[in-house]
Amino acid sequence: MGAPTISYSPYADAHKNTTGAGDGRPTAMKIIEDEGLINKWTDKVVLVTGANVGLGTETARALHATGARVFVTARTKEKVQPAIKDIMSTSPSKTPIEVVEMDLADLSSVRAGAASFLSRSSQLNVLITNAGIMGVAYGKTADGFERQIGTNHFGHFLLFQLLKETLLKSATPELPSRVVTVSSAGHSIAPPDLDNLNFEKPDTYQPFGAYGASKTANIWMANAIDRRYGSKGLHAFAIHPGVIFDTTLFRDVVPGSLQVDVEGWKKIAKSVAQGAATSIWAATAKGLEGKGGMYLADCQVGAPMTEGEEMGGPNYAPHAYNEEGEEGLWKASCKAVGVPED
């Protein structure tokens, strides 16, 4: 099964002949400016997970410029304060940024964080599940999940479930609600094994195999959300931000576990602000209204990977669209996080 597609690629030319981070490709703020949204979303509410560093900070910065009420998550309020101070110092909006304390590796913390958000807002127009970890040594979350599938997928899946009704209620014919899951070209490494989601079978854990599975799970979650709720005004996209070296994501990578052509990647690498552009495009682009279930990269709809194509580019692997797998993961995820199937 292939992805839905559209002939809408306003930034295609900007992604040709790239020269590396900081070149002519759009930044997140450029997307907001091009959409004409500076201080135009003053009646909207958005939530971004993992906004204390990197992509999350730049995503929150661009959304804050719209004038929207912006909620950001971090494990502690203290961790995100430097990012908030930086955003407020540059933003055209003076609306306070609100913090939701949440550890995505602990479902009780996710529940508490969702309750905190809902106690403060009865509206949510955009949810961006940005937080994540990559290529870490084997370990378990507070709930016994393998760390990468637990943090990158199960934590966000529960958060979506707890905020789903608010997203649905906030949708209007003029502006359907959107969920943006931050996946990665790394999804091409492997799909989730539904019989071994937590790598409990002996000798099956590989740091980047687990990462790839969790990033495919992000795509499958977005596809399933759109299939279930698109007709009700709630759409979802999965995105690949691009290759970004200036990020804390590499901080805990197991040495020697990532075998890539770093030199070859330098020409396609993006700055953090450029990396956040596709998330912002997915969240705000008028040309995407009423659409979803698409894998986006380089501010355009991805295409199937060609045979022999190396990881890192804007295209998606064959297993990215697999309705049977998506439904199996949805069912397993509902059971894992303790919510009814829908």
Active-site residue identified among 183, 188, 214, 271: 183
DSSP 322-334: -HHHHHHHHHHHH
Q: Where are the alpha helices (DSSP H) in 19-154?
A: 28-34, 54-64, 77-90, 107-120, 147-149
Helices (H) and strands (E) in the chain, counts: 11, 8
Residue 155 near residue 50, CB atoms below 8 Å: no
Active-site residue identified among 44, 164, 215, 270: 215
Angle between helices 77-90 and 54-64 (to 10 degrees): 50
Active-site residue identified among 211, 229, 295, 321: 211
Q: Note if 211 is an active site residue.
A: yes
Residue with the two structure tokens 């719209």: 66
Q: Note if 214 is an active site residue.
A: no
**Cβ neighbours of residue 318 under 8 Å, at least 6 residues apart?**
304, 305
Instruction: Give the dihedral sign, CA 203/208/213/217.
Output: positive
Question: What CA–CA distance (Å, rounded) separates 129 from 149?
Answer: 14
Q: Note if 215 is an active site residue.
A: yes
Active site residues: 183, 211, 215
